[in-house]
A and B are shown apart, each in its own frame.
Chain A
Amino acid sequence: MSGTIWLPIRILLLILQSVWLALGQIWSNKIRSALTTIGIIIGVASVTAVIAALSGLKASVLTEFESIGTTTIFAGPDLPREGKFRNLPWHKIQFEKKDLENLLENCPSLEVYTPATWRSTSVRYGEQTVENMLIRGINNSWHKIENRSVIDGRPFSIIDEEQGWQVCLITEEVKKELKLDKDCVGQEIQIDGRSFRIVGVVEERISAFDMGRSKAEVYIPYETEWKLWRNHPVILAKAKKPEVAEEAREELRFYLRKCKGLKPGDPDLFRIETVEQVLRQFEKVSIIITTIATGVVGISLLVGGVGIMNIMLVSVSERTREIGLRKAVGAKPSAILLQFLVEAVILCFFGGLLGVLGGQGMTSALARIPNAHLDKAYIPMWAIGLAFGFSALVGIIFGMFPAAKAASLDPIEALRHE
């Protein structure tokens, strides 16, 4: 005799041996094993696909916001949902032009701001008319805030802004829709029947929120918008640094409350949003979706686990004589337990593996859907780890009862089993 083998090595050998036995057992019941794991496969495939889609969407949104910058702040009039101000007429809460004049002095954390408006109206060039063209009233600083520069012609000058000249900037898409000349700077278009001279072309930015199409937009100086149409502004601003974005927001809030003459305890009559906030909201939504998906998957894994348990119980009962014999020749209860547990875990593991492969397939399919912004969809490593971890856990939990049943069989009874 070669003496007793060191315990950890013996355990390792026992596990390897159990894996080997389990593989043989699964192989000899191929169809049954495959059917059993379908629940797990579907569960794992769907969760990995959902996680992949969310990760992809998040990646797209993040790139989107990174280009806008996390320093952008938006403020617009907004009615509180309850309280005495709930039914204030709109003209009481909208921002006045004069409110904006001292904005930068009062908000030291802001770098620049612009009053902004948007509305759609008809635009004509020669014979060509486009209804519902988006007209945005802005100041020159808008280029800095949205990080979109003028690629042809010039931006608005101080004179344009102060005098409210009838000048406009357009996007490439406007050229197409109005059938403008290639070199259209200097030409005139009709906005609401008034003549505007094109002074420049603004670079395009395709946003994930526009379903991948570029937008036809016409920009006019805010002052012009005010002079001609008396449209009240909202505020677009940019904080000096991302770190002071929150401070800037507070300064702006304080200032706007002062402008509105609000007393302490009154609710805000406006809403201030930062990109940070929107990101956080997106984060929240994606956590909710992930949680729901996890719940759904939990249920399907549960169903899958019950399937595994069922098949393991069948297996134990079919192999009662074999278990009896193994015990008779010296298998300890723990060895039998391990053998069946390993078999259940391996079944689940196969389910997990096929599930991850299926999820990868679904992810590739999702990524190919045009304009769905899922082209960045990928299964993160942690999700793969999670899928396998959960599969193994399901195997252990649902395999434990059948395995314990096998381990506790009495060898003589088992050998007498028909």
Chain B
Amino acid sequence: MSTQTTHPQTTTPPAAAEEAAALRKALASTPRPPRATPRQAAMAFGWRGMLKVKHVPEQLLDVTITPVMFVLMFTYLFGGAIADSTGEYLNYILPGVLVMSILFTTVYSGIALNTDLTKGVVDRFRSLPIWRPAPLVGALLGDTVRYLIAGTVIVVLGVALGFRPDAGIGGVLAAMALVLVFAFGLSWVFTTLGLLLRSPSAVMNAGFMGIFPLTFLSNVFVEPETLPAGLKAFVDVNPISILSTASRGLMHGNADTSDILIVLATAAALTAIFAPLTTRLYRRA
């Protein structure tokens, strides 16, 4: 550092004079609009999420390629071995793959939040007069669109390969909606993790360490009848089993209302516990 600190006079070249006038005008008068409603604020953050997808469409590969691979792998690699025919197994497995793919994607919500926190923009969001959970709710709403894309890819591919839902399109949509609601609830767990852990990769590791065993110890791939008693008991109460049973039921028209209610209650409970926790942590991060 030099100790010389002479400062040049601020010059105003002619072109800049125009700019200066524009500047004064822009700064002059902006009456403060009424505060954004919680819905407006959350929607604005949802829009931010979509813009990121628009600018980096590669992000969608995560949510499309992986499910496609799962469907192909389970149908052709394991399908023959587990069930008598590919079509029959596909009818069983597809709702499960849908559940699995979307639940895996929820981990990315936590990773994205953790990445966001390393940037200065979060300070600005936190200094705005907005509904406190808006940045988080909005981000999760944006993520829901990604889940929807993943879900659509899976179902369309499934139908092309011979998946025939007995309850038709209505059943598929109902199942998809149920999975999205559950995913929304589960996302809060990962956003909490995203605020507690130090780096995006730590969130990724912890997230998958939780979600992998839960998914594989469920009835996503096989009926648990063949499992040892202790394991079967766990699989039966695993919310992911109940979710895939319910979505299978909705797609094939034989859903149990109690299953659906359990799924909705679980999603509500996760949201009730982890949404306020995430919001508190976000304010203090």
The finding on whether chains A and B are genuine partners in a shared complex, rather than unrelated, reads: no
Question: CB within 8 Å of A: which residues of B?
Answer: none
